[in-house]
């Protein structure tokens, strides 16, 4: 994707979110600069406590890569990010979340598990992001995503990103976001 279309894609996603809408985005890859822009939109200033952004990834590797890519950006802004992986110490992860964080990055299954173990509070959540939605549907993680999404306060925004769009994904997303904008990097 060229930097012009990348910028236009980001602008369209941010425009949708700033208008108060939720979005289903079709993008061939996880766009770190878009995630950084979303963080700036959702978390303008550091504030410890309940998370304000949750990012669900398809697997441990994707979550680790995203967290590593975001680390300099997060550090520069004095924000906190907790990485929640499948093969981690559950008690330590839960305690880290309980102590407070602004951004949670992890796999759908483990984040859902931590949430239902009262590991964190979603009262201040501003943005719920699901990356690689098509892969997560293929893995059978729809239920984990659904359990968290159904628990979200109604005024929060959701962003689902998928590398492809098909009827299964669109109908699934419609369950949580009956009114949303569909944004594709190819249309730009």
Over the stretch 86-97, which tens digit does the pLDDT of each residue have?
Answer: 987 888 888 888
Residue matched to tokens 């004095």: 78
CB 156 within 8 A of CB 53: no
The confidence score (pLDDT) of residue 154 equals: 64
Q: Which residues pair with 103 in a beta bridge?
A: 53, 81
Q: Considering the domain 3-184 in this protein, what is its CATH number?
A: 3.40.50.300
Contacts of 56 (CB under 8 A, 6+ apart): 106, 107, 108, 111, 128, 129, 130, 131, 136, 145, 148
Average pLDDT per consecutive 10 residues, the chain (188 residues; last block may be shorter): 63 88 82 88 83 92 95 93 89 85 92 85 87 87 85 76 78 76 71
The confidence score (pLDDT) of residue 2 equals: 42
0.85 surpassed by pTM: yes
For residue 64, CA distances in Å to 27, 77, 153 come to: 20, 20, 27
Over the stretch 61-104, which tens digit does the pLDDT of each residue have?
Answer: 999 999 999 999 999 999 999 999 998 788 888 888 888 889 99
Task: Say how far residue 38 (Cα) sits from the centre of its chain.
Answer: 9
Domain chopping of the chain, boundaries: 3-184
Q: Is 122 helix (H, G, I), strand (E, B) or coil?
A: coil
């Amino acid at each position: 994707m060229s930097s012009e279309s990348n910028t236009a894609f980001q602008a369209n996603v941010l425009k949708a979110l700033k208008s108060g809408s939720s979005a289903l985005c079709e993008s061939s890859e996880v766009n770190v600069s878009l995630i950084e822009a979303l963080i700036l939109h959702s978390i303008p200033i550091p504030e410890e406590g309940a998370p304000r952004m949750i990012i669900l990834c398809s697997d441990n590797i994707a979550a680790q890569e995203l967290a590593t890519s975001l680390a300099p950006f997060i550090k520069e802004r004095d924000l906190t990010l907790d990485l929640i992986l499948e093969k981690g110490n559950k008690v330590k992860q839960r305690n880290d979340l309980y102590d407070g964080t602004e951004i949670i990055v992890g796999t759908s299954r483990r984040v859902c598990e931590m949430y239902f173990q009262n590991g964190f509070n979603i009262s201040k959540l501003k943005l719920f992001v699901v990356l690689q939605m098509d892969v997560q549907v293929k893995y059978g993680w729809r239920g984990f995503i659904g359990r968290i999404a159904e628990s979200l306060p109604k005024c929060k925004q959701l962003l689902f990103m998928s590398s492809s769009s098909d009827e299964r994904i669109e109908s699934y997303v419609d369950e949580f976001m009956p009114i949303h904008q569909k944004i594709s990097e190819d249309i730009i």
